[in-house]
Structure 1
Amino acid sequence: MDDKLRERLRTAAEAHRPDRERILARVERGMAEGPSARTPHAPRGPLPWLRVVGAAAAVCGVLAVGAYAVLSAGGGQTRGGQVAAPSVPSASAPAVPGRVPELRTEDGPLWADGAVDPHSNAYWAQSNATLRSTQPLSSLTVELRIAQTGGVNTTGSWRSLPEQDFTASAQEKGGFLVYRWTLKPGRTVPVGTHTFAGQYNHAEGDRSADGDYFTANAARTTGQQVSVGDNFASDH
C-alpha cells in the first residue's frame, strides 16, 4: 500500500513541479497523523492522504485548463514547458515617405521641371528630372526621390550629359528610392537643357507620383550657389 501511495504522489508531484516540495511536505504530515490521530467524534471523511492527492489533482487540473485556454484564445505554443506568446504577423505595407518639401523651380540661371515619362506603364515607370542652365556650372548634384508606394525597385538610370563626368548611385532611404548624380571635380556642365532619369518597377496599377520630387544644387563658374527642384504631382 505504501509503495502504491508513494508512486501516485510522485506522479502527481511531477505533473506540477513548482509545488512539489509543498505537496510532499503535506503528504508526510498527513501520513504522520494517520487514523489514530482522529478523535471518536470527528466526522468521517476522506483520509488525509486522499485529501492531499485530491488537492494535487485539482491543482494540476486547473493548470492544464488554464494552459489550454491560453493556447486556444491566443494561438500560442508551448516551448520548454512554458506558454509562448502568439506571434504577430509582420507588416507588409509599404513605408510611408516624408512630406515633399517646398521647392522653387527657378534660381538665377537654373530652371527645373519634373515629369513622369509618357512611356511608363502599369508595371514600370521612368521619372525625368530636367534642368536648363543659361550659364556653365562648376558643380552639380541632382537627387531624384521616388516614394516607396509598393514594389518600387530600381531598373537603372541615365543622364543626357557624358557618363564619365558623373558618379551615380541608387539606394533605398527613408521610404524613398533615391537616385543621385554628382559632377566630378574639374568637370563643367555646359549651357543648355539636360535630363536625369530614374527607371523603376512598381506594384501593378496606375501608380501615383504625388510623393516624388527632385532637387538640384549647383554652383556657377563664378562660385555663386544656386538650388532648384520640382515634384511629379499629377496636377503639376
Structure 2
Amino acid sequence: MTDELRGLLRESAEAHLPDRARMLARVERGTARPGAARGPRDRARTGTLTWPKIVLATLATAGTLTASALTVVAVVHTPDPPRQPAAVAPSAVDRTPPPTAGSRTEDGPLWADGSVDPHSNTYWAQSNVTLKTRKPLTALVVELRIALTAGVKDTGSWRTLPAEDFELSAREEGGFLVYRWTLKPGRNVPSGEHVFAGQYDHATGGRDAKDDAYRIDAAVAGEGGAAVWGGFA
C-alpha cells in the first residue's frame, strides 16, 4: 500500500464518521496519478487485495472509535449505589424457649397460672392456663407443654376467646405434647381473664404433672412486650 493511500485512510479515520463515497473518490484519484498505470495482472491484484484491505482498515477504525466512545461513557456515568434491603420489622412477640425451672407468674399488666382441671380422671386430663391482663394485648402466644408420659395423646383443646382470632397447633416436640395458640395479625385481646386448655388421654391411673409447663408472650398496647411462665406441680 502506497504512502498516499495510508494518508487517505488516516484522514478517514480521524473524521470519526467516514464518508464512504468521498473516501472512494480520494482513493481513485490517488491510483490514477501519472506513472501509476499497471498491467492487467497488477490491476487484478489491486482489485482483489487493495479494496478488502481498505474496507478492513475502515471497519477497524470505526470499531476502535466505537469502543473508545463506550469507554468514555462508562467512565463518566457512575452507577447508582445498590439499594439496601428494607429493614424487616421484628416480631411483635419474641419467642424464646420456655424455662426448664422456676416461674414468673406476673409481668406488668399480665398474670398467669397453670392448673390441672378438677374434672380430669384416671385415663383423661385437661390442663388449664389462666391469663389475666389489665390492658388490651395486640399480640399473644400461649404455649402449653404436656410431658409425654405413658399414654399421652391429644384429644382436643379450647379457649374462652374467639376461635377465629387464633392460629392453633398441637404437635409432639422434644418429648412434649405442645399446644400453641397464636393471635392473628390485626386482632386484639381485651383486658380481663382468659383460659386456654389442652385435653389429652394418658395411661390408666394418676398422672404426675410436675414436668408440664406453660409460657405466655404478649405485646401490651402502648407498653411493649411482656412474658409469664410457670408449671403445674
TM-score range, shorter chain: 0.5 to 0.7
Deviation at 1:103, TM superposition (A): 2.0
What SS class does the counterpart of residue 164 from structure 1 fall into?
A: helix
Match of 1:73 in 2: none
Unaligned stretches of 5+ in structure 1? 1-97
Contact 1:99 1:211 in 2 (8 A): no
Q: 2:230 is matched by which residue type in structure 1? A: D
Match of 2:191 in 1: 191
**In the superposition, relative to structure 1, how do residues 122 and 194 fare at CA in structure 2: closer, same or farther (>3 Å)?**
same
**In the superposition, relative to structure 1, how do residues 223 and 185 fare at CA in structure 2: closer, same or farther (>3 Å)?**
farther
Match of 1:203 in 2: 203
Q: 2:198 is matched by which residue type in structure 1? A: G
Aligned counterparts of 1:101 and 1:154: Cα–Cα separation in 2: 24
Q: 1:130 is matched by which residue type in structure 2? A: T
Match of 1:216 in 2: 216
Tell me how many residue pairs correspond in the alignment: 136
**In the superposition, relative to structure 1, how do residues 186 and 230 fare at CA in structure 2: closer, same or farther (>3 Å)?**
same
Match of 2:113 in 1: 113
**In the superposition, relative to structure 1, how do residues 210 and 165 fare at CA in structure 2: closer, same or farther (>3 Å)?**
same
Match of 1:134 in 2: 134
Query: TM-score if structure 1 supplies the norm length?
Result: 0.56
Identity %: 61
What SS class does the counterpart of residue 114 from structure 1 fall into?
A: strand
Query: TM-score if structure 2 supplies the norm length?
Result: 0.57
Aligned counterparts of 1:110 and 1:142: Cα–Cα separation in 2: 12
Once the two structures are superposed, what CA deviation does each residue of 1:160-197 show, in whole Å capped at 9, x if it has no partner?
Answer: 00000000010001110000000000000000000000
Deviation at 1:157, TM superposition (A): 0.3
Report whether the alignment pairs 1:167 with 2:167.
yes
Unaligned stretches of 5+ in structure 2? 1-97
Aligned counterparts of 2:192 and 2:99: Cα–Cα separation in 1: 31
What SS class does the counterpart of residue 164 from structure 2 fall into?
A: helix
Q: 2:226 is matched by which residue type in structure 1? A: V
Aligned counterparts of 1:140 and 1:170: Cα–Cα separation in 2: 17
Which 10-residue stretch deviates more, 171-180 or 99-108? 99-108
What SS class does the counterpart of residue 182 from structure 1 fall into?
A: strand
Larger radius of gyration: 2
Match of 1:35 in 2: none
